[in-house]
């Protein structure tokens, strides 16, 4: 019963954030579909937002939460433009596989 | 109550993120990303960020992910083919990920002086104020200009998205010309 009344240490939130960020990086490296690669980037952004909110709690700083708000707005704009680019790439090359979109690869 | 909520939704987060990596169909990845984002919203609520809880659900789990699902369906994205991946990813990428995670985890776990998160306490101890009051005071007084600049950014992003995603301009012109004839 004592466990239920306990407070959660902030370290666990930060650790969760670090693990989610690493999973995002791994997804960015192993996924072979352009859209899922983009989703991994969104996962990384979310993981960083979690640590912003955790640190805002730690230092009672409301600006940390406001920064997350701005990150969300910029991420929404970025998602719109990124998905438009994906549509344009699909129209030009007819595929979403990142292995075949290698025009700029050395 | 708090540890149960934390472990439940942190578990959902991790399960969703791992499922995102394991699924081969983009639509399944998109749906697991929605699970991750919604559980993160609940974690924001536990950390006393009510406004971000709503914004996360509306903006991320709602708008952004609907856009993702819409594009997956529009492009009829099929099952992805498994390839070996690039050599740079295997040689540099994965060791770098493991190293970064190990450094971060050791710093976080050894950090002293971090608070414990107590449910129901926000950023302010004033009973007449709340997180939302505090946040809007800073956002709409001190940071009003950046807030308004964000709307310009979003407008430009909309224009850019429309310009990029619409059909090729010359073809549209041709179609209009032929229809005029």
Q: Which pLDDT tens digit goes with each residue over B9-37?
A: 999 999 999 999 998 899 999 999 999 99
Query: Which ipTM value was assigned to this complex?
Result: 0.90
What's this model's pTM, rounded to 2 decimal places?
Answer: 0.88
Question: Which tens digits make up the pLDDT trace of B86-142?
Answer: 677 778 888 899 999 999 999 888 887 777 777 766 677 676 677 888 888 889 999
The answer to whether position A99 is within a domain reads no
Residue B174 scores a pLDDT above 60: no
Distance to chain B for A52, nearest Cα, Å: 10
Q: Which residue of B has its CA nearest to A11?
A: B108
- Chain A residue numbers touching B126 (CB-CB < 8 A): none
Q: According to the model, what pLDDT value does residue A2 have?
A: 65
Q: According to the model, what pLDDT value does residue B13 have?
A: 94
State mean pLDDT over B40-66.
91
Task: Give the CA radius of gyration of chain B.
Answer: 23
Q: According to the model, what pLDDT value does residue B134 have?
A: 86
Q: Which residue of A has its CA nearest to B120?
A: A7
Residue B166 scores a pLDDT above 90: no
- Dihedral over alpha carbons B139, B143, B144, B149 (to 10 degrees): -120
The answer to whether position A8 is within a domain reads yes
| Domain tally, chain A | 1
The answer to whether position A106 is within a domain reads no
- Taking each helix axis from N to C end, the angle separating A62-93 and B144-165, rounded to the nearest 10 degrees, works out to 10
Q: Which residue of B has its CA nearest to A84?
A: B165
Judge contact between B140 and A62, C-beta under 8 A.
Answer: no
CA distance B72 to B78: 9
Q: What is the DSSP letter of B180?
A: H
* Between B128 and B8, residue with greater pLDDT: B8
Question: Which tens digits make up the pLDDT trace of A33-91?
Answer: 889 999 999 999 999 999 999 998 888 888 889 999 999 999 999 999 999 999 998 98
Q: What is the CATH number of the domain that holds A28?
A: 1.10.287.3510
Helix (H) or strand (E) holding B175: helix B169-180
The answer to whether position A100 is within a domain reads no
Domain B1-79+119-126 sits in CATH at: 1.20.120.1200
A84 in reach of chain B (CB within 8 A)? yes
Q: According to the model, what pLDDT value does residue A39 have?
A: 93
Residue B159 scores a pLDDT above 90: yes
- Residue A60's domain comprises 2-93
Mean pLDDT estimate for chain B: 84
CA distance B58 to B61: 6
> Taking the domains of chain B in order of start, what are their residue ranges?
1-79+119-126, 143-181
SS (H, E, C) chain A: CHHHHCCEEHHHHHHHHHHHHHHHHHHHHHCCEHHHHHHHHHHHHHHHHHHHHHHHHHCCCHHHHHHHHHHHHHHHHHHHHHHHHHHHHHHHHCCCECCCCCCCCC
């Amino acid at each position: 019963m004592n466990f239920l009344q306990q407070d959660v240490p902030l370290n666990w939130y930060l650790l969760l954030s670090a693990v989610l960020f690493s999973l995002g990086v791994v997804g960015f490296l192993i996924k072979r579909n352009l859209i899922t690669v983009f989703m991994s980037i969104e996962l990384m952004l979310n993981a960083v937002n979690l640590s912003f909110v955790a640190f805002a709690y730690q230092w009672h700083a409301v600006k940390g939460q406001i920064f997350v708000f701005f990150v969300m707005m910029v991420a929404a704009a970025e998602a719109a433009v990124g998905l438009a680019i994906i549509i344009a790439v699909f129209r030009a090359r007819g595929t979403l596989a990142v292995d075949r979109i290698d025009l700029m690869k050395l | 109550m708090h540890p149960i909520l934390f472990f439940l939704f942190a578990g959902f987060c991790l399960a969703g993120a791992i499922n995102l990596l394991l699924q081969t169909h983009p639509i399944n990845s998109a749906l697991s990303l929605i699970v991750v984002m919604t559980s993160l919203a609940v974690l924001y609520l536990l950390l006393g960020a009510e406004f971000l809880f709503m914004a996360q659900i509306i903006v991320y789990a709602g708008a952004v992910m609907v856009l993702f699902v819409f594009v997956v369906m529009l492009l009829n994205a099929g099952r992805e083919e498994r390839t070996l991946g690039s050599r740079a990813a295997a040689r540099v990428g994965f060791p770098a990920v493991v190293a970064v995670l190990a450094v971060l985890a050791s710093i976080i776990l050894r950090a002293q002086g971090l608070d414990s998160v107590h449910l129901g306490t926000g950023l302010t101890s004033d009973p007449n104020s709340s997180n939302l009051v505090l946040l809007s005071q800073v956002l709409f007084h001190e940071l009003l200009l950046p807030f308004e600049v964000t709307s310009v950014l979003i407008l430009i992003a909309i224009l850019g998205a429309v310009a990029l995603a619409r059909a090729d301009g010359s073809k549209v012109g041709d179609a209009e010309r032929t229809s005029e004839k």
